[in-house]
A and B are shown apart, each in its own frame.
Chain A
């Protein structure tokens, strides 16, 4: 089993944190190997950011994503810039309020992550809602492991909010798989 994941958006959305949580879930709480790295512009907020994760049950030699299994896009800019390396096997998840994502290869899912986060009272957790959706849609991440990684990573006072965002995102992901349109 080897999966290559790319998460992109704009700086400040927690793109790098999202990749870190997936990598931690896989390597610390699921016993896979994982690598994660990031690239971002010099600006702290606003520029296109990208975080990539590879998880595998074998040794990971080359630590770069070249053949995307799961693409998560949370801004138009980043999607245009980092939306390549996709194929028919690629699962793409976009936030339709932020990205116009028609016309790429593979399967496309739309998750209103920012909307979910706003409904919970803080759009800062849109990244975690997206992780919840990705966990439900992709099927290769153990939800319990991801939740443990979230608890292990976010500040204590935001723990409940983040776990709620994960659950709501997870539900939205299940709905999307069943073909329900996003609310």
Chain B
């Protein structure tokens, strides 16, 4: 691809530095500034605005937008574009996310950088199309078959839809692993103020492109001291690379009968994420220092939760909130520390209880862990969250 990120042009196309836009639009702005030059997708409520804005803006910065026949085609095109060297992205909602699961695994296995945005709506199946939910949080972790890790972000504000989309591109380029941005219909369709940072306030990561050595092996990391991410051999640059979802050796050729090769490969792919768990952890702590009761939450659920915490504090109650910006890999250390400190952890989520499970696992019985579920396409009210503090 001949695309070259041109910050001046991108900023001109995006417009004013301070804007009042939807979460979906903020996600598009973030992706453009991150250097995304390829989008393939299929419109679906409540993610359609991402495709719509991308179709309008991406060609104007020199990128390519394709509306595909479905979501399987979408993620396939995104993977292909990434191998051609493009920072690439797709955006969907529950039904489309389900269709993408097989190739999500292919992107993990083939170590293809790409960003998958899921503006979650109520499921299962077509569910409540216009209503937000957080029902796909476990799917993002476990939805594809086989042994995998996951890189999953969850924005709580429109500004974070912008910030975390840039973070998603940076992570996917650094780790050569797909990154899911788990938005939800509530934040995706909410309008708030977004402040576009100046160029010198932003950090943009690009994948490490391989050198064309004579003895180049595309999936070999033995020469890279401590680093488990192989350099990227962009298609069309003279590399001879075989890319496959089959278990492969360092040449990229199938090694489907070798227990050793498989274990070596999968352990490297999984541990390149898991080893960096603490480094990757992104949490926000609100009134946690002296808290005796803590909420652990993420995404839209954090909005009512923070209001409930503020109310409790005004009434002199020692309540705090740990908000996960990066949900996977799971912040094990933070949860262990919190469970040592508090008597009770409450987990508000817009599902029947998903992230409460790893919270319970890593609280290791040291405190009470309570699920605070809400389904049906409405956010928790502040009162509903607040009641769990006493109850």
Contacts and interface: CB of A to CB of B under 8 A. Distances in A.
B122 to A, nearest CB: 14
Contacts of A62: 303-304, 306-307, 381-382
A2 B122 CA distance: 31
B300 to A, nearest CB: 8
B49 to A, nearest CB: 13
A34 interface: yes
A64 B381 contact: yes
A28 B379 contact: no
Interface string A37-80: 11000000000000000000000111110100000000000000
B193 A28 contact: yes
B18 A36 contact: no
Contact of B18 (A27, A63, A64): A27
Interface in B178-202: 186, 189-193
Nearest to B190: A37
Contacts of B16: 28
Interface residues of B, number: 18
Interface in B300-346: 303-304, 306-307, 310
A34 to B, nearest CB: 6
Nearest to A25: B20
Contacts of A36: 20, 190-192
A34 B303 contact: no
A138 interface: no
Contacts of A24: 20
Contact of B303 (A28, A33, A38, A61): A61
A106 B303 CA distance: 29
**Most chain B Cβ neighbours within 10 Å, of A20, A28, A34, A60:** A28
B379 A64 contact: yes
B193 A27 contact: yes
Contacts of A34: 20, 191-193
Given A61-B303, A61-B307, A64-B379, A28 B191 contact: no
B139 interface: no
B271 interface: no
B258 interface: no
A169 interface: no
Interface in A1-40: 20, 23-24, 27-28, 33-38
A60 B382 CA distance: 13
Interface in B333-391: 379, 381-382
B126 interface: no
Interface in B18-39: 18-20
Given A24-B20, A27-B18, A63 B303 contact: yes
Size bracket of the A interface: 10 to 19
Interface of B is mostly: mixed
A23 B303 contact: no
B132 to A, nearest CB: 10
Interface in B154-204: 186, 189-193
A52 to B, nearest CB: 10
A75 to B, nearest CB: 21
A35 B192 contact: yes
Contact of B19 (A28, A35, A60): A28
B18 A28 contact: yes
B18 A37 contact: no
A41 to B, nearest CB: 10
A129 B176 CA distance: 53
A34 B306 CA distance: 17
B190 A35 contact: yes
Given A61-B307, A62-B307, A27 B381 contact: no
A24 to B, nearest CB: 4
Interface string B286-301: 0000000000000000
A142 to B, nearest CB: 15
A38 B190 CA distance: 8
Nearest to B383: A66
A38 to B, nearest CB: 8
Nearest to A20: B191
A61 B191 contact: no
Nearest to A62: B307
CB-based closest 3 A-B pairs: A62-B307, A27-B193, A24-B20
8 contacts: A35-B192, A36-B192, A37-B190, A61-B306, A61-B307, A62-B307, A62-B381, A63-B303
Given A36-B192, A61-B303, 17 more contacts: A20-B20, A27-B20, A27-B192, A33-B193, A34-B191, A34-B193, A35-B190, A35-B192, A36-B190, A37-B189, A37-B190, A60-B192, A61-B310, A62-B306, A62-B381, A64-B379, A64-B381
